[in-house]
Amino acid sequence: MSRIDLAEVAAIIDENIVQHFPRKERAVQQVLCLAEEVGEFVAACRRAWGMARRPGPMADVHAELADVVITAYVTAHVLGIDLTDAISDKVDVIFTRGWKERASG
């Protein structure tokens, strides 16, 4: 299976979204959509972990997390953010922070 260019996928999705929603509302709509997808991911985790009224399969967790990542890329595209570069920059920061120290004893 070939690798997917998520930035390219985001651009294609955005081209289709603008056919259905006003351009002036794209940024707000995408930010809200990202929040909604994160909520769906959390709900899928709760169901898979037996913390909700009804159970759910772990496959739903996988699918919802994929939705979060894809929607994050679409949101970045709409906001004019190169998410690949932003992630690379953030990883550099994370690795300079160090890791949690263990308690002695």
CA angle 67, 17, 34 (to 5 degrees): 35
Q: Do residues 44 and 60 make contact, with C-beta atoms less than 8 angstroms apart? A: yes
CA 44 – CA 50 distance, rounded (Å): 10
Structural domains present in the chain:
6-97 (1.10.287.1080)
Note the pLDDT tens digit of each residue in 29-65.
999 999 999 999 999 999 999 999 999 999 999 999 9
Q: Residue 7: which of 73, 75, 60, 81 has the closest Cα?
A: 73
Note the pLDDT tens digit of each residue in 12-30.
999 998 888 877 888 999 9
Q: Long-range CB contacts (< 8 A, 24+ apart) of 89-97?
A: none
